Amino acid sequence: MLKQFRSKIEEKKKIEGALGILEWDLETCTPKKGQQHLSEIVGYLTMKEYEISTSKEFRDMIETLKENPEKLNEIEKKEIEVLSCEIEKIKNIPPEEYQKFSELAVTTQGLWEEAKVTNNYNLYKDKLQQIFDFNIKFAQYNRKDEKNLYDVILDDYERGMTTEKLDEFFKALKKEIVPLLHKIVAKGNPSRKLMTSTPVESQKKFNRVLGEYLGFDFDRGVVRESEHPFTLNIDKNDVRLTTKYMENNPFSGVFSTIHETGHGIYEQQIGDELKGTILACGGSMGIHESQSRFYENIIGRSRSFWKGIYSKVAEYIPVLANTSLDEFYKEINIVEPSLIRTEADELTYSLHIMVRYEIEKAIVERKITTENLPEIWREKMLEYVGVAPEKDSEGVMQDVHWAGGLVGYFPSYALGSAYAAQIFNTMKKEIDVDKILESGELYKIKEWLGKKIHRFGRFKETEEIIKEVTGEGLNPKYYIEYLKEKYSKIYDLDI
């Protein structure tokens, strides 16, 4: 039975691998008019994979193995647990409803694109409400003993996460970060120097050097370009990142690269003992994002990191020749209220997420509908971030997530930052991070993360990892302390 199970998993993983390559190709290579044809192939293989996953044969296999745990090792037990859980969720939702939801998400995403370009929210607000309605319905089907319906939704992206924990987390942020932001805004910012025309070829070369410096293994990975940077793992020996270069903003690409390299190093360090299992990939979205944000912000926007490499950078990005390390450090950490989440600085980023969290929770709780979202959005942005969009295309319509069916996904972004700071707090006690960064020995950080987090893949739950590494569950205080300490120094604040 175990042999048949392994063979099915192998088949599933091969189809998933092919799908990964097709997805990669669609984002990085496929010509415009070839996308339709390739999407049809994706649809076909997705269906094949779905057929295996939901076949009676496969489900019976898992049921039998579940009933005979004595025959399984720890890794297999975890695989069966994860699969049972997925199958149960699928089982609870009538296939025809799921089909309708999938179609609705495609339609709504199309409408969203048009609505965003024409700045006309009304174009898709009803469909958007239907997206939320489906999410609510599915959560009702899957609800067991969760206190809140929104908990069921959160569980899809971050197992064990609850409204209660998130409320506490965002309450702390609101209390501490919003006032800090006000003080920073009152201080004002230096003028920007780094947004200078820099040949893309030269940026590319530097990003390659940077990837190697951080510890990304280019024998087991590649970096390409795409409109929206992302990371994809085909296998731990085939990890792919994209970045995006802007001629007039060389550090936009640099921080994209560092962020994705964080995801990539995670995937490259999955333990060999998980090879061939469904656990051989990064864990929850929150823990994955913690690794990318750790590299991007905690490492990549630190003074010590740049001190270690600064003398080499000007060769590729000439503006640095006329910029002191101190000026540079301040500029890459400028805090400035802004409208667009993906362009937000480290400090305001989680406030953007808070706006989304409060809105989606309220919709799921049936306290508001999509009817008045633009106004609600403006109010909340003004209150937390300090700016409000004139155009809804720069407000409620900026992200594709909801239109694409993803409800409950946003909190993970903020959780990632919080986990990163909490992990960092432990790391600092065990190794001398600043010294490591200044001497360019990045492999020591990579190894620490590899040993404590990366190698476990999906074998351990995020909550378990955070507890084992830091000695406690999610605690927002580390994130808040980290931000307060860093930014009060940069802005010379007395707090």
Is residue 146 part of the contact set for a copy of itself (CB under 8 A)? no
Buried b (16+ CB within 10 A) or exposed e, 435-458: ebbbeeebebbbebbbebbbbbbb
Q: Which is nearer to a copy of itself, 42 or 368 (CB)?
A: 42
For the record, the structure tokens of 54 come out as 């939901």
For the record, the structure tokens of 482 come out as 């980290």
| C-beta atoms surrounding 133 within 10 Å | 17
CB under 8 A, 24+ apart: contacts of 298-302: 298/420, 298/421, 298/424, 298/482, 299/214, 299/258, 299/437, 299/445, 300/254, 300/255, 300/258, 300/259, 301/255, 301/332, 301/333, 301/346, 302/434, 302/437
> Going residue by residue from 14 to 33, which x/- string records binding to a copy of itself, judged by CB under 8 A?
x--xx--xx-xx--xxxxxx
Residue 58: burial class (beta carbons within 10 Å; 0-12, 13-18, 19+): buried
Q: Which is nearer to a copy of itself, 238 or 394 (CB)?
A: 238
For the record, the structure tokens of 376 come out as 């609600």
Q: How far is the CB of 279 from a copy of itself (least distance, A)?
A: 17
Report how far residue 69's alpha carbon sits from residue 242's, in angstroms, rounded to the nearest whole number.
Answer: 41
Report how far residue 477's alpha carbon sits from residue 176's, in angstroms, rounded to the nearest whole number.
Answer: 10
Report how far residue 58's alpha carbon sits from residue 297's, in angstroms, rounded to the nearest whole number.
Answer: 43
Is residue 178 part of the contact set for a copy of itself (CB under 8 A)? no
Alpha-helix residue ranges (DSSP H) falling in 1-124: 2-28, 35-54, 56-67, 74-92, 95-118
Pairing of strands 221-225, 231-235: unpaired
Q: How far is the CB of 233 from a copy of itself (least distance, A)?
A: 10
Q: How far is the CB of 277 from a copy of itself (least distance, A)?
A: 14
Q: Which is nearer to a copy of itself, 238 or 434 (CB)?
A: 238
Q: Which is nearer to a copy of itself, 16 or 81 (CB)?
A: 16
Of residues 262 through 291, those in contact with a copy of itself by CB under 8 A are none
Piece of 58-66, 155-163, 238-246, 448-456 that binds a copy of itself (CB under 8 A):
238-246
Q: Which is nearer to a copy of itself, 33 or 429 (CB)?
A: 33
Give catalytic status of residue 23 as yes or no.
no
Q: Which is nearer to a copy of itself, 14 or 91 (CB)?
A: 14
Handedness of CA 126, 131, 134, 135 (dihedral sign): negative
For the record, the structure tokens of 309 come out as 């490499």
> How many residues would you count in the chain?
495
Q: How far is the CB of 493 from a copy of itself (least distance, A)?
A: 45
> Going residue by residue from 41 to 70, which x/- string records binding to a copy of itself, judged by CB under 8 A?
x--xx-------------------------
Residues 25, 31, 37, 38, Cα dihedral to 10°? 0
Catalytic site residue from 176, 260, 296, 360: 260
Residue partners of 23: CB distance under 8 A and separation at least 6: 42, 232
Handedness of CA 125, 129, 131, 132 (dihedral sign): positive
Is residue 147 part of the contact set for a copy of itself (CB under 8 A)? no
Number of residues that bind a copy of itself (CB under 8 A): 35
235 — phi, psi (to 5°)? -170, 160
Q: How far is the CB of 448 from a copy of itself (least distance, A)?
A: 23
Position among 8, 143, 183, 220 found at the interface with a copy of itself (CB under 8 A): 220
Q: How far is the CB of 157 from a copy of itself (least distance, A)?
A: 27
Is residue 185 part of the contact set for a copy of itself (CB under 8 A)? no
Piece of 114-122, 212-220, 299-307, 369-377 that binds a copy of itself (CB under 8 A):
212-220
Q: How far is the CB of 427 from a copy of itself (least distance, A)?
A: 28
Q: Which is nearer to a copy of itself, 60 or 201 (CB)?
A: 201
Residues that bind a copy of itself in the complex, under the rule CB under 8 A: 11, 14, 17-18, 21-22, 24-25, 28-34, 36-38, 40-41, 44-45, 201, 218-222, 224, 234-235, 237-240
Catalytic residues: 260
